[in-house]
């Protein structure tokens, strides 16, 4: 039932989906929509993977934008998990039937560094480290417009699903889990935009996208939390076709060897093209 509520498939008196703790009154009509079940049999699918590091215990990848991490409604095949099942022997069953080996995830249209466990002890140790916010560093780069007003800062809020649109999240809530994002302006760009580096202290779903948008600095191209731009910035956002967000750096302690591992990747071509366009003066034409 909680999953149905979180997916937006429960309403009260026809209104927006509710939280599990919402109190009902006599006469309330509760409507529950049961969607077709998602197949649990995962079939390996060979796909190219950008492997940054691999040993018997874990694999670190550079995930491209557009790739869903694990099966979900509307994405029963073609996910990163399907590709990992073809790449890693005996991965099935680690960390859950539909999310084998997954320690943390990136949104479909967010690119960058991810770590995946190849055995159960590694999955449990890494998951605990991510949850405890210890020995793990996660840094992202983003392009926001308008730009933050200062050079750096920290956003500390409560965090939960949006009270009206249950498929979105919000930091403007009275109850929820704590969420902390540290940000720094790396470079100020044309059209009021900025290249921003963000470091996660917590890892809530959509956290950077929501924190920056709720602060008035949405990510360029974000289809959910962004804003409508005009003129050249609107054209650049359409050309990108996704939120301008890249998981640029990941540091962690190897669960078995104890070695400190650090991985970094540059943003992909579409992000780099947007950054170049916002650095260069507009063309005056022929």
CA–CA dist 226, 229 (Å, integer): 9
Map residue 90 onto helix, strand or coil: coil
Asked whether 147 and 193 are in contact (CB, 8 A), the reply is yes
Query: Is 160 among the residues known to form the active site?
Result: no
CA–CA dist 95, 143 (Å, integer): 33
CA–CA dist 49, 61 (Å, integer): 7
CA–CA dist 230, 226 (Å, integer): 13
Residue 200: φ, ψ to 5°: -85, 130
CA–CA dist 221, 235 (Å, integer): 10
Asked whether 80 and 101 are in contact (CB, 8 A), the reply is no
Q: Give the CA distances from residue 286 to residues 232, 273, 278, 283, in Å, rounded to whole numbers and listed in that order.
A: 18, 22, 20, 9
Residue 112: φ, ψ to 5°: 130, -165
Asked whether 154 and 86 are in contact (CB, 8 A), the reply is no
Which of these is catalytic: 107, 109, 160, 270? 107
Looking at the annotation, which residues are catalytic?
107
């Amino acid at each position: 039932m909680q999953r149905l509520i979180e997916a937006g498939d429960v309403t009260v008196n026809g209104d927006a989906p509710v939280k599990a703790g919402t109190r009902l009154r006599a006469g309330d009509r509760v409507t529950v929509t049961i969607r077709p079940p998602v197949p649990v049999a995962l079939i390996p699918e060979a796909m190219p993977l950008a492997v940054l590091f691999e040993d018997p215990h874990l694999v670190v990848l550079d995930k491209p934008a557009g790739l869903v991490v694990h099966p979900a409604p509307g994405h029963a095949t073609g996910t990163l998990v399907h590709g990992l099942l073809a790449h890693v022997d005996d991965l099935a069953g680690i960390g859950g039937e539909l999310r084998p080996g997954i320690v943390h995830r990136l949104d479909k249209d967010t690119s960058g560094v991810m770590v995946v466990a190849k055995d159960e002890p590694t999955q449990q140790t890494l998951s605990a480290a991510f949850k405890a916010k210890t020995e793990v560093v996660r840094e992202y780069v983003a392009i926001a417009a308008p730009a933050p007003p200062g050079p750096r800062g920290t956003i500390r809020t409560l965090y939960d699903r949006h009270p009206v649109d249950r498929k979105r999240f919000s930091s403007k809530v009275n109850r929820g889990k704590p969420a902390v994002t540290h940000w720094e302006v790396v470079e100020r760009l044309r059209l009021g935009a900025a290249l921003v580096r963000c470091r996660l202290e917590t890892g809530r779903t959509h956290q950077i996208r929501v924190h920056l948008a709720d602060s008035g600095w949405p990510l360029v191209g974000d289809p959910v939390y962004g804003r409508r731009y005009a003129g050249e910035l609107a054209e650049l956002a359409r050309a990108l076709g996704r939120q301008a967000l890249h998981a640029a750096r990941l540091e962690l302690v190897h669960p078995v060897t104890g070695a400190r591992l650090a991985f970094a990747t540059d943003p992909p071509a579409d992000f780099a093209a947007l950054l170049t366009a916002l650095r260069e003066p507009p063309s005056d034409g022929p």
